[in-house]
């Protein structure tokens, strides 16, 4: 697989914490990579790091590498990054009502992207904005273009965010919880739209979510994060059929979907006890305080990633597979 984006040893530092540590993954052209984990696992910070939009109090460690289309993004000048951002790498943020400007019409906000990156005139940008609203299936786009965000429903606002993100046909789209606060039917419509646009525009998509049902249906590859670290990576079918890390098993046990064939589960759900550890961290496996399989040795060091089977990674030495081997730094998916 030819990589579009390659992330190696991404570590994000604040003054007294490292909320993302030694994270590595890659994504190929037109592929959908899902990053899953509960709130506080570092998913959104990872997305902001890829966009070079981290808050001023945060920094990316010197040993971290983010390569996009063969170009190194870490340390890239702000002006060059602004040229890439929105044009080649775009992002859909979690909450459209706070991401959209409340005092600008949606047409003006879409047109602004086109005027900056595509150098279109105001009239041409407006025509293209109407086409984009039609593309994301907003009815009567020639009338809706002059609406303000508060005049739209939550699902329509999310579609406007998608229109802004795909306006310049980016190579990579980062969707951070794109269906948050939407009802189930609208969620399905938004995700179906994203997948259709991915195929039509040949985009790669990083889908950040905590919804395992979304992962089962839309992802080509899955990274599971916990406390800022990657604890498992697998193809969706393998992950649901045979989760290896105790945290992944816990997520599936707390989900209304069965791990096999994506059917609905019979019987009660099981919650993961406790809460996610502090980013300051302690020695040993970060999941140890919540793990029902923890042993004394789990408190000694952070477990390295091992390869229990083809196309799989897991950060647990007590995986049930007997084929586990040390993870080579050169291994890629």
Q: Kindly report, residue by residue over 228-241, the tens digit of the pLDDT.
A: 999 999 999 999 98
CA angle 193, 191, 175 (to 5 degrees): 100
What lies within 8 Å, CB to CB, of 77 at 6+ separation is none
Pairwise CA distance, residues 280 & 295, whole Å:
22
pTM over 0.75: yes
The CATH number of the domain covering residues in 26-51+75-88+170-326? 3.40.50.300
Bridge partner list, 209? 36
Domain boundaries, the chain: 26-51+75-88+170-326, 98-167
**For 126-130, 161-165, 298-302, which range has the lowest pLDDT when averaged over its residues?**
298-302
Confidence of residue 1 (pLDDT cuts 50, 70, 90): low
Mean pLDDT of 160-168: 94
Q: Is the pLDDT of residue 266 over 70?
A: no
Confidence of residue 260 (pLDDT cuts 50, 70, 90): very low
Mean pLDDT of 287-300: 90
pLDDT of residue 179: 82
pLDDT of residue 10: 97
Q: Is the pLDDT of residue 326 over 70?
A: no
pLDDT of residue 56: 92
Percent of the chain with pLDDT over 70: 90
Q: Is the pLDDT of residue 257 over 60?
A: no
Tens of pLDDT, residues 66-119: 999 999 999 899 999 999 999 999 999 887 778 899 999 999 999 999 999 999
Average model confidence (pLDDT) for the chain? 88
pLDDT of residue 154: 87
pLDDT of residue 329: 36
pLDDT of residue 267: 61
Pairwise CA distance, residues 160 & 105, whole Å:
11
pLDDT of residue 325: 45
- Total length of the chain: 333
pLDDT of residue 332: 36
Mean pLDDT of 145-161: 93
Q: Is the pLDDT of residue 180 over 80?
A: no
Tens of pLDDT, residues 140-150: 999 999 999 99
């Amino acid at each position: 697989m030819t990589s579009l984006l390659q992330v190696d040893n991404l570590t994000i530092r604040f003054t007294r914490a490292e909320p993302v540590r030694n994270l590595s993954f890659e994504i190929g052209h037109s592929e959908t990579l899902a990053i899953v984990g509960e709130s506080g696992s570092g998913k959104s910070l990872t997305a902001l790091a890829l966009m070079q939009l981290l808050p001023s109090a945060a920094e990316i460690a010197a040993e971290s590498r983010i390569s996009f289309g063969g170009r190194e993004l870490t340390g890239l000048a702000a002006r060059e990054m602004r040229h890439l951002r929105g044009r080649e790498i775009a992002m859909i943020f979690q909450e459209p009502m706070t991401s959209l400007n409340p005092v600008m019409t949606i047409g003006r906000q879409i047109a602004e992207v086109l005027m900056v990156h595509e150098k279109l005139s105001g009239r041409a940008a407006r025509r293209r904005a109407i086409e984009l609203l039609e593309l994301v299936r907003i009815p009567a786009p020639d009338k809706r273009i002059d609406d303000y965000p508060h005049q739209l429903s939550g699902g329509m606002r999310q579609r406007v965010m998608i229109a802004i993100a795909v306006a310049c046909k980016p190579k990579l789209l980062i969707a951070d919880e794109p269906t948050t606060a939407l009802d189930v039917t609208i969620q399905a419509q938004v995700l179906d739209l994203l997948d259709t646009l991915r195929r039509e525009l040949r985009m790669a998509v990083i889908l950040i979510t905590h919804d395992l049902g979304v992962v089962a249906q839309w992802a080509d590859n899955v990274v599971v994060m916990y406390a800022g670290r990657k604890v498992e990576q697998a193809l969706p079918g393998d992950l649901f059929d045979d989760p290896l890390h105790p945290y992944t098993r816990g997520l599936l046990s707390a989900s209304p979907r069965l791990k096999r064939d994506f059917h609905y589960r019979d019987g009660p759900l099981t919650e993961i006890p406790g809460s996610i550890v502090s980013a300051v961290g302690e020695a040993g496996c970060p999941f140890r305080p919540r793990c029902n399989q923890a042993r004394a040795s789990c408190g000694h060091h952070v477990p390295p990633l091992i390869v229990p089977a083809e196309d799989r990674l897991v950060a647990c030495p007590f995986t049930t597979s007997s084929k586990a081997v040390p993870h080579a730094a050169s291994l890629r998916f």
